[in-house]
Structure 1
């Protein structure tokens, strides 16, 4: 167990963990999300889709893995602040949900949804070039796409271990690296932003998550190195946001045993005994995209009510 199930698991990730067809997952998630609203404060469940102010007007933001969950919430928050958003989904099975997210954005005609599987060698380049073809630049890159496959280190099935390793590393690690590399040539050279979405699991210990937690630790190391390497050359800052236990569709649609395992962590959260919301994570990400955050660079910001602290 750990925080992976809750952090940035999109519909693709949930299929890997729990199986089932897309329609049944969406239906189950919707029912469980309605239940979740009874355990979260009204303020935490408030939608961020209503435009607030145009502080990011004219900015172009790529949000990888944004057809659901935290990625979708980040896209909505950035759009509500005036940004044009490039949504991303991995395959045709996610097109319907990505289109629904697109329609939910403030000023949806300004934004687009691009199919690109970031676990492949071609996907990151395809996403970056599609954004540049539409807008001519990129101001904000949110590396959110990720997958968790809970795998015991001593699993005797070599094939299963290798398959899980390749899927996890190729998306969480290589996908982030190659997408960032592909975006650099289009990155606006003044006040641009790169934000890597990590997870509280990288700084806690949990069974069966060493593979996933390792990739999130990799993202944090990339953040530190890029924060040193890139700003003067590309005019950007680079930071990490690390969600704790978040009430995503994946969390509420997970088997009851998963939520039972997580319950002690939720109950011991210093701020309040509840899960976080995708909107709370999205707010932290958007804050780093603001002009006023131009002196914040190389940081690790946990968004988990104090379960993990930097």
Structure 2
């Protein structure tokens, strides 16, 4: 059986890297397009994976993609279309969280953080999907995957038990300004919007046989906000899990483990389907 062609945005670091690593270790064979904004970083990530897994049945190729740049997306499409003529799996992993960079005394800083977070997590992800959709229609049992968030659910705004929920959902003291501005709000809001975008793509591609999912990977110690090892250690102290858990779950979805839940936000922890 021919290797399936999988494209993973933001594949050179964090959860994206763990997704690629999980696919590389699969008993199934893949042709994996590891995408990064920097082609050099994508190539470096491939060298690491090839060194760690020299006997993998899968092959890896680097592809430059910046989902904030339409020309970059179009160029990547032309390269994939010319070389392969199809795409079996598109994993929209690239994401961003800019809330921690806000200068709260500068309205333009607030606007920039919100707009850029939405541009990456919603608009850029949508455009990436829109451009590559024709190749998915030519794919074999094609799958379109969006990376959701456990923070991006209306039901999830209610609990306050435990340190994570109390920090996310607990109201601040009365008065203004608030002592701790809500830096996660742009990310949380954008991922909630992305969930509806996933549903729109599920509707759009349903009659084409493309299986569409959003995956909520759990609270993982990744570098989403540009964190270093120290910040990741702090995340682990707060209960963050090994990113490999998220990578392995994405592989399971790619390989059909959750096909009964197509069109939904699925997860490996708590309830199988994330409540809206």
TM-score range, shorter chain: 0.7 to 0.9
Distance 1:258 1:159, change over 3 A: farther
Residue equivalent to 2:164: none
Distance 1:231 1:190, change over 3 A: farther
Q: Is residue 68 from structure 1 mapped to residue 13 from structure 2 by the alignment?
A: yes
Residue equivalent to 1:27: none
Q: How does 1:33-72 map to 2 (within 5 A)?
A: 58-72=3-17
Q: Using structure 2 for the length normalisation, give the TM-score.
A: 0.76
- Residues 3 and 29 of structure 2 are in contact (CA less than 8 Å); yes or no, is this contact kept in structure 1? yes
Could you list the per-position Cα deviations for residues 173-193 of structure 1 after superposition, in whole angstroms to 9, with x for gaps in the alignment?
Answer: 111101111111111354110
Q: CA deviation at 1:87?
A: 0.6
Q: Distance in 2 between matches of 1:85 and 1:75?
A: 8
Deviation above 6 Å: which 4+ runs of structure 1?
Answer: none
Residue equivalent to 1:13: none
Residue equivalent to 2:219: 245
Q: Is residue 227 from structure 1 mapped to residue 192 from structure 2 by the alignment?
A: no
Q: CA deviation at 1:61?
A: 0.4
Q: CA deviation at 1:215?
A: 1.2
Q: CA deviation at 1:244?
A: 1.9
Residue equivalent to 1:287: 252
Q: What is the aligned residue count? A: 243
Gaps of 5+ in 1: 1-53, 267-274
Of 140, 148, 153, the match for 1:198: 148
- Residues 91 and 144 of structure 2 are in contact (CA less than 8 Å); yes or no, is this contact kept in structure 1? yes
Of 277, 289, 292, the match for 2:242: 277
Residue equivalent to 2:177: none
Q: What secondary structure sits across from 1:239 in the alignment?
A: strand
- Residues 88 and 127 of structure 1 are in contact (CA less than 8 Å); yes or no, is this contact kept in structure 2? no
Q: Is residue 86 from structure 1 mapped to residue 33 from structure 2 by the alignment?
A: yes
Q: Distance in 1 between matches of 2:65 and 2:81?
A: 14
Could you list the per-position Cα deviations for residues 58-99 of structure 1 after superposition, in whole angstroms to 9, with x for gaps in the alignment?
Answer: 210010000011111111222333111111111256345434
- Residues 10 and 35 of structure 2 are in contact (CA less than 8 Å); yes or no, is this contact kept in structure 1? yes
Q: What secondary structure sits across from 1:199 in the alignment?
A: coil
Cα RMSD after superposing both structures: 3.1
Residue equivalent to 1:211: 186
Residue equivalent to 1:77: 22
Q: What secondary structure sits across from 1:244 in the alignment?
A: coil
